[in-house]
Amino acid sequence: MIAGWPATRFNNYAYDWLLAGEPAANWTPQSVIVAIDEETFHEQGGVHAIRTILANAMLKIAAAAPKAVASDVTLPDRTLDDAGVDQRLAEALARVPNLVLPCDVITAGGKARWEDPLPEFQKPATALGHVFRGESGTDGVDRVLPLEEIVDGKRRWALALEAFAVAHGDPIPTDSPDDVQVGDVQAGGVIIPAPRRADGRQLLIRYLSTGIPVVPVAELDRHLDLLTGKTVFVGVTALSAARDRVWTPYGKQVSGVEIHAHAYETIARGKFLTPARPSTVFGISVLFAVAAGLIFGLRSGWQAYALAALLLALAHWTPVEFFHHDLVFPYFATVAVAWISTGGAASFRYFFVQRQLRKSESERTRYQQALHWAAHEMRTPLTAIQGSSEIMTRYALPEDKRHQLSEMINSESKRLARMIQTFLDVERLADGQMEMKRETFPAAELVETCLKRVAPIAERKKIGVFLDHEVRGALTGDRELMEYALYNLLTNAVKYSPPETEIHVISELRGGELRLSVRDQGIGMDAKELKNIFKKFYRTRRAEASGEVGTGIGLSIVEQIVSHHGGRIEVSSEPQKGSCFTMIVTAT
Ligand code: ADP
């Protein structure tokens, strides 16, 4: 809406286009322009003879019995060297019925005042009308005429309005803040909707596309009958002398007197164009924005796009429809609002759908990966259970061997159950579904359990696992998950170390943080590899070459668990020297 509001130029183009597109009015012009054109000047003595030309023309016009006569030729000063020129003009003017003379605004010494005709000319005039046209649009097109002008405390109505009032026999217009009235509407009078605003009372000129008859002064004798019963506008149209040339919305260049005549016809026709209220514009713009939002909020796919296209068409058509009802609607406001909000809603929808899709895609792959990992990890205990039970059923074994095997089945199936539990827990943890258990337990117990569990595999490789210090402090969180994490770091250390090396577990309680490190003398990693080890399924080349089985998923789970406990992991490593993984968690 903000973008749409000040687009005056665009609105003007639309206005001109709509005005030019109006069907020709079924209206007979009530006025005639008597033009002092190039031909007239040429024949009758040039520009400096203008008062003589005007006097002669007025005498002829008076003879044609017009309804009223409005002159656009200002007469503020005396002719020097006057050989009776002004006198003759005054006499001619006195013959003219219902005469309206022009006054203009001039600014002298920084002060504006009315420039009125000389008293001798003013005397026979019925009224004075201003010919001030205000600022024409930024593009030099005259679309409006200020109906009323107040200068120096004196108000004057526009020449066209005065001409209409005088012709109507009701020379004094009445006004209210919202409109100007001439005579009784029932008796051919008119109410002009022209509210008084900051830029005055503006009359939108409804130019007659069919034009207004023009009779050059030089040809007046032949066309006097055209003037009878009409309002006559007398003015200079010669390019060499006319002070003003302006553009109409039709793209035609006209002189000032024609503008007044068109304004007169606008008033006489009584069919006025009025600007739509800002609140109406605002309301309709809001409606378009809301509709665009609703369309993409409630519908998707081609349905939404079809409805959006319909909405845009409606936005373009709204000002046209308003114009048909004589309301001028700022074209750009609705169109810009409709386009911007439709575009915004559509792209929001698009990115929203994209995001949803990406999310479900990544969820699916994550789930597949997790399943893959679970199947892989579970195979080891399952093989052990299967093997042991087969041996037990196939062979008659001594009692102690049977006992050993059934112990193994028992412990491996427990490990399997634990793994399934961990798997489910990690899945739900990643989903954000799981409430983590929150219990407080001594860190020493955690370390002890894990060390016990890792001892047999370390022993197989003759790796010594040492606890360097006494573990102090208590942790709060999910004990099972934390065990899983530390156990993973320990098994990795064993897996990726050559036999007969050492693993050291170092614990340090400092500033409310417990740092638990697992340091090995194994294959290590370089800086580039270090960056990737927490990614799912990533395994270093060295790890692959070591022949150790692995899925590359353990560390990513460890990291998740630790971060869910509000902690972090630090790793330092050097190829062929060893690695050190440190879990840092809050502790008391
Ligand atoms: P896995 O051990 O199943 O391959 P992890 O996620 O536990 O998966 O580890 C990811 C990778 O990080 C390993 O494949 C290995 O390349 C590297 N890595 C982990 N721990 C160590 C370690 N202690 N020493 C050297 N490399 C390690």
Instruction: Say what the pLDDT of residue 444 is.
Output: 95
Residue 179 Cβ < 6 Å to ligand 1:
no
> How far, in Å, is the centroid of ligand 1 from the Cα of 569?
14
On whether the CB atoms of residues 217 and 257 are closer than 8 A, the answer is no
Instruction: Take residue 463 and report the two structure tokens written for it.
Output: 């790796």
Let me know whether 111 and 228 are in one domain: yes
DSSP H helices in 397-464: 399-431, 443-460
Q: Confirm whether 429 is domain-assigned.
A: no
Q: Confirm whether 393 is domain-assigned.
A: no
Q: Confirm whether 491 is domain-assigned.
A: yes
Let me know whether 295 and 249 are in one domain: no
Q: Which of 270, 288, 314 is the last residue before a domain boundary?
A: 270
Instruction: Indicate which residue's Cα is closest to atom 10 of ligand 1.
Output: 552
144-147: list long-range contacts, CB under 8 Å, 24+ apart: 144/202, 144/203, 144/204, 144/205, 145/202, 145/203, 145/205, 145/259, 145/260, 145/263, 146/199, 146/200, 146/201, 146/202, 146/203, 147/180, 147/192, 147/194, 147/200, 147/201, 147/202, 147/203
Residue 539 Cβ < 6 Å to ligand 1:
yes
116 vs 232: CA distance, rounded Å: 20
Q: Confirm whether 521 is domain-assigned.
A: yes
Let me know whether 119 and 153 are in one domain: yes
> How far, in Å, is the centroid of ligand 1 from the Cα of 472?
28
CATH of the domain at 539: 3.30.565.10
222 vs 236: CA distance, rounded Å: 19
Per-residue model confidence as pLDDT tens digits over 341-365? 999 999 998 898 889 888 888 778 8
Let me know whether 340 and 481 are in one domain: no
Let me know whether 192 and 149 are in one domain: yes
Mean pLDDT of 103-108: 88
> How far, in Å, is the centroid of ligand 1 from the Cα of 277?
72
> How far, in Å, is the centroid of ligand 1 from the Cα of 154?
95
Q: Confirm whether 18 is domain-assigned.
A: no
Q: Confirm whether 385 is domain-assigned.
A: no
340 vs 426: CA distance, rounded Å: 45
Instruction: Take residue 300 and report the two structure tokens written for it.
Output: 């998707």
- Asked if residue 465 has pLDDT above 90, the reply is yes
Domain count, the chain: 3
DSSP H helices in 21-158: 38-44, 50-63, 85-95, 119-122
- State the CB neighbour count (10 A cutoff) for residue 553: 22
Let me know whether 263 and 298 are in one domain: no
Sign of CA dihedral 100, 106, 111, 112: positive
Counted residue by residue, the chain has a size of 588
Residue 557 Cβ < 6 Å to ligand 1:
no
DSSP state, 167? Answer: H
> Which of 419, 490, 492, 535 to mutate to test ligand 1, by most ligand atoms within 8 A of the CB atom?
492
Residue 540 Cβ < 6 Å to ligand 1:
yes
Let me know whether 253 and 293 are in one domain: no
Q: Does the model's pTM come out above 0.75?
A: no
Q: Which of 213, 242, 270 is the last residue before a domain boundary?
A: 270
Per-residue model confidence as pLDDT tens digits over 509-565? 999 999 999 999 999 999 999 999 998 778 899 998 988 877 677 898 899 889 989
Q: Which of 270, 289, 304 is the last residue before a domain boundary?
A: 270
Q: Confirm whether 404 is domain-assigned.
A: no
Let me know whether 252 and 355 are in one domain: no
Instruction: Say what the pLDDT of residue 429 is.
Output: 66
> How far, in Å, is the centroid of ligand 1 from the Cα of 492?
6
Lowest-confidence segment of 14-28, 66-80, 233-247 by average pLDDT: 233-247
Let me know whether 247 and 208 are in one domain: yes
User: SS3 string of 319-347?
Assistant: HHHHHHCCEECCHHHHHHHHHHHHHHHHH
Per-residue model confidence as pLDDT tens digits over 35-66? 999 899 999 988 888 999 999 999 999 999 99
Residue 578 Cβ < 6 Å to ligand 1:
no
Instruction: Indicate which residue's Cα is closest to atom 26 of ligand 1.
Output: 524
Greater confidence (373 vs 454) lies with: 454
Let me know whether 165 and 254 are in one domain: yes
Domain hosting residue 508, numbered range: 436-586
Return the residue matching tokens 């526009």: 158
On whether the CB atoms of residues 160 and 206 are closer than 8 A, the answer is no
Let me know whether 84 and 220 are in one domain: yes
| Rounded (10°) angle between helices 301-324 and 278-298 | 160
Q: Confirm whether 390 is domain-assigned.
A: no
Let me know whether 225 and 334 are in one domain: no
What single letter denotes the amino acid at residue 155? R
State what percent of residues in the chain have pLDDT above 70: 95
- Asked if residue 147 has pLDDT above 80, the reply is yes
On whether the CB atoms of residues 67 and 98 are closer than 8 A, the answer is yes
